[in-house]
Amino acid sequence: MTRDVRDRLARALERGEVRSAGSSLGPAMRSRLERALTGSGHEGDSPLPRIYSARQMSEPVAGKERAAFSAKLSERELETPQGPVMQYRWSVPLKELQNVQDLDGAMEGAGVLSELLENPSIEGLDLSRVLFIDTETTGLAGGTGTYVFLMGMGWIEGKEFIVEQLFMRDFIEEQALLWRTIQLVSEYDILVSFNGRRYDVPLFDTRLILNRIDGRLGEMPHLDLLHPARLLYGGIFDNCRLQTLEKELMGQYRYGDVPGAEIPRLFFEYLTSGDVGSLLPVFEHNVLDVVTLLTLTAHFLHLCQKPELDPRALGGLGRLYSRRGNQDLARELLEEARSRRKATYRDLRDLGHLYKRSGEHSKALEVWKALITRQERVSHELGFDAGPYVEAAKHYEHRTGDFVKALEYTNAALQQAAAANGHAPSPRLVGELDHRVTRLRRKLDQAV
């Protein structure tokens, strides 16, 4: 099943729009489609087992899935020096998780990831010494009035991945939640989160300070996965949200998952009703987030060892290596993206400049021409970029002395600029192109 078909089916299922023989889709066919949709998004990969899910489309399935998830949870009231807090635990065999079957192979990429991200704390990363964290809070804006009511923490234990959730049943239990979290965090060497450096960690540390509890998450070595996600996939996907990465990298879909913006409201409704069962979708959401932190970490580590595993990331990896001074490997990765037809416009532009800086001017010219061709096809969508036209004109004017060709590319730039509806270039750029035309015409007249 192709990614496009899978996406369309998923959206149709969620909206209840899939029909069969003029009637609503039957439960059996719906179940078959949902199983297919949970498979990997990469052709040739083994399907990702459905080990958990959020609420489903049809109510019978939803009830069954919630019951299955609830059955996997163990719960107890945990006594701490700061009072009681509810502790939930859930586990899954590592062999059932995408990307994490070969943990030793994944960890070999830690040194490369450390270098690329300029994060020395993860150079000797050992996944068995990592604590994966995600919070659910009473508000999304942060600040001193925002509480962490659910703390999700995951770790590898033998051949299983364990997720522990600490649930604050009422505000009086906040100190117990904070204390237990700090005790567990102290047993590990590094934290992994998604946007935790900007949100989860500062918020949690604020709660520690307000409650006068020692320990700070901000003092721990930290790998925030949002950073490599944006560096490698920014501009490739619609966005770099966690669920987008789940879908694009692991082929995993969340049907009917509770939106993050709804979670604070659900917690306050729970405070009124006292029905913990109404928060089960939030617990599912949090568990899924924590598990995805592990699979996404493994993905990045594998990718650092074998960039060819995901051609879409070749351009981003190439730029990272270029920034770190490894121009040869940067060119190799960007050229690989180009040969696989996975190179973006930005990838090609960077490749052209790398070739130019290394003195490979003929290869750079090939790239400038490819960029020009691509831009002329989609100029109304992308806007106008004079760069490749100017670079091609410079090549012919200064390296081959072909003023006619140089003039052709400069005039083509002016024509393309005039056709760029809604993306008009600046008057300064047009003036520079006009000046180049004048100079080239003068050189041509002198050569006659």
End-to-end CA distance of the chain: 63
Shared-domain flag, residues 339 and 277 = no
221 and 285 co-located in one domain: yes
Do residues 53 and 73 both lie within one domain? yes
The token pair that represents 105 in the structure block: 């192979």
Whole-number pLDDT of residue 334 = 96
- Same domain flag for 159 and 276: yes
Q: Best-predicted range by mean pLDDT among 4-8, 138-142, 162-166?
A: 162-166
Which of the listed residues 305, 333, 361 is the one where a domain comes to its end? 305
How many domains, the chain?
3
Pair 4, 59 in one domain? no
In the block, tokens 């942060």 appear at: 142
What is the pLDDT at residue 65? 56
State pLDDT tens for residues 73-131. Answer: 788 999 999 999 999 999 888 888 877 767 777 778 889 899 899 999 888 888 999 99
Residue 192 has pLDDT above 80, yes or no: yes
CA torsion angle 226 347 351 362 (round to 10): 180
Place of tokens 């056709």: 419
**High-pLDDT (> 90) share of the chain, %:** 57
pLDDT of 70 > 90? The answer is no
Nearest to 322 by CA among 343, 299, 347, 344: 347
Helix axes 226-233, 314-323, angle to 10 degrees: 110
Same domain, 368 and 231: no
Q: Which residues contact 414 (CB under 8 A, 6 or more apart)?
A: 430, 433, 434, 437
Q: pLDDT higher for 157 or 418?
A: 157
Q: Sign (positive/negative) of CA torsion 139, 142, 146, 149?
A: positive
Question: Could you list the residue range(s) of the whole structural domain that residue 61 is in?
Answer: 43-305
380-434 confidence digits (pLDDT tens): 555 688 999 999 999 999 999 999 999 999 999 998 888 776 566 788 888 999 9
pLDDT in tens, 324-366: 999 999 999 999 999 998 899 999 999 999 999 999 999 999 9
* Shared-domain flag, residues 234 and 333: no
Mean confidence (pLDDT) of the chain: 83
Is there a single domain that holds both residue 183 and residue 157?
yes
**Strand 130-137 to strand 190-193: parallel, antiparallel, or no bridges (unpaired)?**
parallel
Q: Looking at the structure, tell me whether residues 70 and 17 fall in a common domain.
A: no
CATH number at residue 93: 3.30.420.10
CATH number for the domain spanning 424: value is 1.25.40.10
How does pLDDT run across 207-220, given as a tens digit for each residue? 999 999 999 999 99
Check whether residue 230 and residue 375 sit in a common domain.
no
With beta carbons less than 8 A apart as the criterion, state whether 141 and 154 touch. Answer: no
Q: Strands, E, within 63-214: which ranges?
A: 74-80, 83-93, 130-137, 148-157, 160-167, 190-193
Dist CA 300 CA 75 (whole Å): 33
Residue 384 has a pLDDT of 80
Are 213 and 320 in the same domain?
Answer: no
Residue 143: pLDDT band (50, 70, 90) is: confident
Whether 317 and 220 share a structural domain: no
pLDDT band per the 50, 70, 90 thresholds, residue 319: very high
Among the three residues 287, 305, 323, which one is the final residue of a domain in this structure? 305
Question: Which pTM does this prediction carry?
Answer: 0.81
